[in-house]
């Protein structure tokens, strides 16, 4: 018999979710992944729930494709039409389900002007009548409200200050009444709550900048917030759709100077974000926002000195800190003490296998609760002598009961699976489990209970 599985649907526990916490950085160390590099580009494919990474530069220019879904996977595609490059533009077109790539710099320091699309299997060249022309280090976002990819500026024998849009068929230059100064290495994202492209900083003819601009599809407008990050280029910036804010990280204001501060912009003002930890400063890394996991993910970069170039391959996540945990409490009853053990931490998207040990017969039940302090007006735990079960306790509220527990292949073991959906709304939620087994002759009721298990759902 297959082990029964209970799925925690978010709709059942909307009132029990954890409140929002401060953001914090955490380093992620996958067992396998892309090599060290700077100038790669990533896009979050929300249709498939995967981060797509392409290219960058190490000792030479790269054209490998990787996907990340909690683990990195090298994607074997045809590279014949995709030139190795770095500092290109790459976004996910959610209207058409395609990753769009434009431009970049190839071997020999040549700026590229090609449009490529990735469908999750292969890269394809897109022939367009018009083109923004050769460029690298440009700003590029996907305007999900209008279904258009937006490009601004970049470098190609000087700084560029033009605005272009791509609708999946062709590129069109947009003439605006107002425009930022020509620049490159700016940070640019699309704010889907306010339907604005937001741009910050970069390099222009005067040096590094810290101005804030917004583009509504018709014109550029300079914003004058009371506070702003310091001057910088090559900063990482994403739109956090969970918090409804733009998040900016790091950048470089001058040669050999690297920042690692974190800021948020709510459409009115910039505010620094105090984090307990952070990546060390770097340039030419890249960051995307995982809207399912509700976290920003950053990879790679470099930190140059006069004598060396430190090329990075580390991976960091910025998220609301919620660590999954399993804690046993209380005690079981019966002549052999019925015991409940959870073998897995309840991370988002995982399945927790729980074993009831010392079960006298091969069937029982699992109870699920949302509280282990009180139930039906009674403080917990509740001793069950009054119903003929001396020494046995109820350790939690009985919110879901009567769930069958299938026997495992090992005698005396009852196995049960609890599936946790991949929803960040569940972060910090406590789920309490206790098993009940049929035990003829143990007491007047012929039932015994286990200890309690406190599962705290988290994203790592």
Q: Which tens digit of pLDDT belongs to each residue from 263-306?
A: 999 999 999 999 988 999 999 999 999 998 889 999 999 987 76
The per-residue pLDDT for 16 is 40
The distance from CA 196 to its chain's CA centroid, rounded to whole angstroms, is 22
Listed residue (4, 40, 45, 448) closest to 236, CA to CA: 40
The pTM assigned to this predicted structure is 0.73
Residue 236 structure tokens:
């990482």
DSSP 8-state class, residue 183: B
- By DSSP bridging, strand 61-68 and strand 351-357 are unpaired
The per-residue pLDDT for 1 is 41
Distance between CA atoms of residues 170 and 153, nearest Å: 18
Q: Which tens digit of pLDDT belongs to each residue from 6-51?
A: 565 443 443 343 334 578 898 988 889 999 999 999 999 999 999 9
Q: Which tens digit of pLDDT belongs to each residue from 359-411?
A: 888 778 999 999 999 999 999 999 999 999 999 999 999 998 766 566 655 67
CA-based torsion, 422, 425, 428, 431: positive or negative: negative
Phi-psi region of 425 (alpha: psi -120 to 50; beta: other; left: phi over 0): alpha
Confidence class of residue 225 from pLDDT cuts 50, 70 and 90? very high
The per-residue pLDDT for 423 is 77
The per-residue pLDDT for 424 is 73
Q: Residue 135 — φ and ψ, nearest 5°?
A: -170, 160
Residues 6+ apart with CB under 8 A from 31: 71
Count of other CB atoms within 10 angstroms of residue 414: 28
* Between residues 413 and 120, the one the model is more confident about: 120
Average pLDDT for the chain: 90
Residues 6+ apart with CB under 8 A from 74: 64, 65, 66
The distance from CA 356 to its chain's CA centroid, rounded to whole angstroms, is 34
Distance between CA atoms of residues 57 and 60, nearest Å: 6
How many residues are there in the chain? 460
Torsion from C-alpha of 304, 307, 309, 310, nearest 10 degrees: -90
Q: Using CB atoms within 10 Å of the CB of residue 409, give its burial: 0 to 12 exposed, 13 to 18 middle, 19+ buried.
A: exposed
The distance from CA 139 to its chain's CA centroid, rounded to whole angstroms, is 22
**Contact predicate 452/39, CB 8 Å:** no
Q: Residue 241 — φ and ψ, nearest 5°?
A: -70, -20
Distance between CA atoms of residues 221 and 385, nearest Å: 73
Listed residue (170, 176, 168) closest to 197, CA to CA: 176
Distance between CA atoms of residues 163 and 153, nearest Å: 7
Residue carrying the six token digits 């992944």: 33
Q: Which tens digit of pLDDT belongs to each residue from 180-207?
A: 999 999 999 999 999 999 999 999 999 9
* Between residues 2 and 48, the one the model is more confident about: 48
The distance from CA 406 to its chain's CA centroid, rounded to whole angstroms, is 35
Q: Using CB atoms within 10 Å of the CB of residue 34, give its burial: 0 to 12 exposed, 13 to 18 middle, 19+ buried.
A: buried
Listed residue (18, 114, 40, 72) closest to 285, CA to CA: 40
Q: Does the bond joining 381 to the residue before it have cis omega, within 30 degrees of 0?
A: yes
């Amino acid at each position: 018999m297959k082990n029964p599985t209970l799925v925690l649907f978010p709709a059942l526990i909307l009132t029990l979710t954890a409140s929002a916490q401060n953001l914090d950085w955490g380093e992620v160390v996958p067992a396998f992944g892309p090599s060290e590099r700077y100038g790669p580009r990533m896009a979050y494919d929300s249709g498939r729930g995967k981060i797509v990474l392409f290219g960058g530069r190490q000792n030479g220019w790269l054209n490998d494709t990787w996907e990340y879904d909690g683990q990195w996977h090298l994607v074997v595609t045809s590279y014949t039409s995709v030139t190795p490059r770095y500092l290109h533009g790459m976004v996910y077109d959610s209207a058409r389900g395609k990753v769009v790539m434009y431009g970049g710099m190839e071997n020999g320091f040549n700026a590229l002007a090609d449009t490529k699309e990735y469908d999750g299997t292969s890269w394809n060249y897109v022939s367009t009548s018009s083109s923004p022309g050769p460029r690298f280090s440009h700003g590029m976002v996907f305007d999900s409200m209008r279904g258009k990819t937006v490009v601004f500026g970049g470098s190609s024998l000087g700084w560029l200050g033009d605005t272009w849009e791509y609708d999946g068929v062709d590129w069109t230059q947009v003439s605006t009444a107002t425009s930022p100064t020509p620049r490159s290495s700016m940070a640019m994202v699309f704010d889907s709550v306010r339907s604005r492209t937001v741009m910050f900083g970069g390099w222009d003819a005067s040096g590094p900048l810290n101005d804030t601009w917004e583009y509504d599809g018709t014109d550029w407008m300079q914003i004058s917030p009371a506070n702003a990050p310091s001057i910088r280029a090559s900063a990482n910036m994403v739109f956090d759709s969970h918090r409804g804010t733009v998040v900016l990280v790091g950048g470089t204001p001058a040669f050999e100077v690297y920042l690692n501060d974190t800021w948020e912009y709510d459409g009115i003002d910039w505010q620094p974000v105090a984090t307990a930890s952070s990546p060390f400063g770097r340039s030419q890394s890249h960051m995307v926002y995982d809207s399912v996991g509700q976290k920003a993910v950053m990879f790679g970069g470099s930190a140059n000195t006069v004598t060396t170039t430190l090329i990075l391959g580390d991976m960091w996540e910025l998220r609301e800190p919620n660590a999954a945990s399993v804690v046993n409490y209380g005690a079981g009853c019966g002549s052999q003490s019925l015991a409940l053990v959870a073998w897995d931490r309840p991370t988002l998207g995982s399945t927790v296998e729980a074993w009831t040990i010392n079960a006298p017969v091969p069937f029982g039940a699992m109870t699920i609760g949302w509280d282990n302090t009180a139930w039906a007006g009674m403080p917990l735990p509740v001793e069950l002598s009054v119903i003929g079960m001396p020494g046995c306790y109820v350790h939690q509220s009985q919110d879901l009961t009567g769930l069958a527990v299938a026997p495992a292949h090992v005698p005396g073991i009852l196995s049960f699976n609890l599936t946790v959906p991949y929803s960040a709304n569940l972060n910090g939620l406590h789920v309490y489990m206790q098993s009940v087994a049929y035990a003829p002759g143990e007491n007047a009721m012929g039932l015994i209970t286990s200890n309690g298990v406190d599962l705290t759902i988290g994203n790592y």
